Amino acid sequence: MSLALYGVSAELIDAIDGLREAPGISGPKYRQNDIDNLSQMILCRNYGKATLELSYLLLATLMGKSSEKGIAQGSFQSAFQDTTQKVWLNFFWLEESITPKRFRAAFTDIPEPVAPYLQLNEQGLTIRLSNSDFTLSPTRIATLASLLEFLVYVDPAVLQQDGLFEQGEGLFPSKCESTVKTLASNLQQKLYQYLADHLQPAQQQRRFRHLWTWLGEYHKGEGKEDRLAINDDVIIRFWKQATEGDEDSLGFRRYRTVAENFFDLRVAIQCVDARKNVTHSMDIELPPEVLQQVLTTSDVDGIDVNALTRMPKFLTKQQAETYQPIVEVGDTASVMALTIMRMRCFGDWQASLVQALRSKSNDHLKELLSEEKQVLTYSAYHEEITQLQMLSEHASDSGFHVLLHCQMSEAFGLVLQRLSDVDLNNVRGVLSISADGEPSALFTETVILAQWPDLLLRVPVLNQLVQQFQKAFKANNRQGFKVLTDNMDCDAYMEGVQLLDRVLQRCDKHLQGLNESCEVEFCSDLSIFKSGFIALYGDRL
């Protein structure tokens, strides 16, 4: 299913999810960033450099464990004739030497005879071979470890490389480079073969061509200059046409799918345009490394709203789910706000129709098609989002109460930013007076902290704000907001209020982009969607 929908097999998606949940000796083994990095590497097929780095790392672990006897004979030979599997099992799983600290610790006692070939320095671990040096950065090790774990999943025999590293007789320094390159090449081959089965973009390529052609023809027909413009109108017209067709091999009957595809197309066009401006060329190649960079940059706009549902719990899972489609699409939420709203109101309706179809309950289907009142209206949507924002502001207020309790200095500055200009001037006035009447005194965060009680007395608006925070905290019964203790994780609350602020701002922009869509617009859209659904599903009744 996911292979057709996204070009990625369910098995590959599950393997990546499995890595996210991988247990470690002190909590989860990998950070979200490590696995995000790995998954982008895999999806962009950008594993050439990483497999080479990994191969050097695997060599370094064997060198670091070389026995004295082996070295005396001029070769690197693992202590006690350990197999490569044993050495790597120990390094990557039992001791988990994959954080910068543990990695460095693992290489502090390099046997003296190995020292000319393996050195720990400021940049990391340098492997000195006859023709070249290679330095491994400690911050890369976790990503490389996750790549190794993925490779083991693809082929469990990956850890058994005794033949290649000649664990019997020992590996001579002069042969190290070719060994590393052979290993890297083998690993790349394994990935290539695996991805041939699990990354199949044929359907996505067909979709692209269809959208691209349609877009060009549509704008040409409208006499438009910009043949690649994508907006709310384009999306709904495309979908409407798709409902009138007989077959749906590309999955364009679902309004949500159409919208998502156009969002991706728009981002793809923007990325390539941006790249064109950098390279000043029309013909731009996108080698895997560049493709991954492009993907990472486009991802920067996304906000991980689920982080706010963990401890301290600023949002419930349901609230995060409501925010998700607004915050995960970057500026699309404001540029194509109407489509986002339509995806929610009519996309949900379509989902329940499809569900009724699947369960073959025709009566239910008929009921759903005629019961328009169960569709979320635009005013109700507006109201829902506004209400959610208000609740989130209370959550944020609770967070500030905790931060003020922790006396976190950055928080005081953030609180003052919420005052009007007039009140802020009053604050400045009070601070100047307190700083021995020096009007040019610098208002550092620590000064603010020191003068805080005074400020509360002299600036009533500030005092009211602080009272508001306290009230919000007392009314908040979620995890992390029940009691104040002496050793609260202030950083988590700070990250939370800052993230929540970004979410609220994104939401504001989205609502502004809706241009106060009203009942009239909803009625007109309702009839468009209803006739579309009847065209799609009406004959099942």
Whose CA is closest to 73, among 188, 204, 172? 172
Nearest-approach distance from CB 470 to another protein, in angstroms: 34
Nearest-approach distance from CB 362 to another protein, in angstroms: 18
Nearest-approach distance from CB 212 to another protein, in angstroms: 6
Nearest-approach distance from CB 200 to another protein, in angstroms: 10
Q: Considering the complex, state which of residue 69 and residue 209 has its C-beta at the smaller distance from another protein.
A: 209
Q: Considering the complex, state which of residue 199 and residue 435 has its C-beta at the smaller distance from another protein.
A: 199
Taking CA atoms, 165 is separated from 58, 181, 381, 494, in Å, by: 10, 12, 63, 49
- Long-range own/partner contacts, residues 483-492 (CB < 8 A, 24 or more apart): 484/402, 484/405, 488/402, 488/405, 488/406, 489/312, 490/402, 490/403, 490/406, 490/408, 492/311, 492/312
Q: Considering the complex, state which of residue 8 and residue 511 has its C-beta at the smaller distance from another protein.
A: 8
Nearest-approach distance from CB 418 to another protein, in angstroms: 31
Q: Considering the complex, state which of residue 6 and residue 443 has its C-beta at the smaller distance from another protein.
A: 6
Nearest-approach distance from CB 108 to another protein, in angstroms: 22
User: b/e for 48-58, b at 16 or more Cβ within 10 A?
Assistant: bebbbbbbbbb
Nearest-approach distance from CB 26 to another protein, in angstroms: 8
Nearest-approach distance from CB 497 to another protein, in angstroms: 22
Whose CA is closest to 227, among 278, 268, 269, 283? 269
Residue 537 main-chain phi, psi, to 5 deg = -120, -10
Q: Considering the complex, state which of residue 199 and residue 535 has its C-beta at the smaller distance from another protein.
A: 199
Nearest-approach distance from CB 137 to another protein, in angstroms: 23
* Cα–Cα distance, 323 to 503 (Å, whole number): 8
Q: Could you give the angle at the alpha carbon of 456 between the alpha carbons of 451 and 462, nearest 5°? A: 115
* Cα–Cα distance, 14 to 153 (Å, whole number): 11
First to last CA, the chain: 27
Strands of 62-218 (E only): list them: 118-120, 125-128, 133-136
Q: Considering the complex, state which of residue 206 and residue 482 has its C-beta at the smaller distance from another protein.
A: 206
Percent of residues in the chain assigned helix, strand, coil, to nearest 5: 70, 5, 25
Nearest-approach distance from CB 305 to another protein, in angstroms: 9
* Cα–Cα distance, 173 to 119 (Å, whole number): 15
Amino acid at 35: I
Q: Considering the complex, state which of residue 294 and residue 308 has its C-beta at the smaller distance from another protein.
A: 294
Q: Considering the complex, state which of residue 18 and residue 74 has its C-beta at the smaller distance from another protein.
A: 18
- The answer to whether 501 and 404 are in contact (CB under 8 A) is no
Q: Considering the complex, state which of residue 83 and residue 186 has its C-beta at the smaller distance from another protein.
A: 83
* Cα–Cα distance, 211 to 509 (Å, whole number): 28
Nearest-approach distance from CB 227 to another protein, in angstroms: 5
Q: Considering the complex, state which of residue 149 and residue 232 has its C-beta at the smaller distance from another protein.
A: 149
Q: Considering the complex, state which of residue 16 and residue 50 has its C-beta at the smaller distance from another protein.
A: 16
- The answer to whether 493 and 399 are in contact (CB under 8 A) is yes
Q: Could you give the angle at the alpha carbon of 17 between the alpha carbons of 190 and 85, nearest 5°? A: 45
Using a 10 angstrom Cβ sphere, with 0-12 exposed, 13-18 middle and 19 or more buried, the burial of residue 153 is middle
* Cα–Cα distance, 443 to 435 (Å, whole number): 9
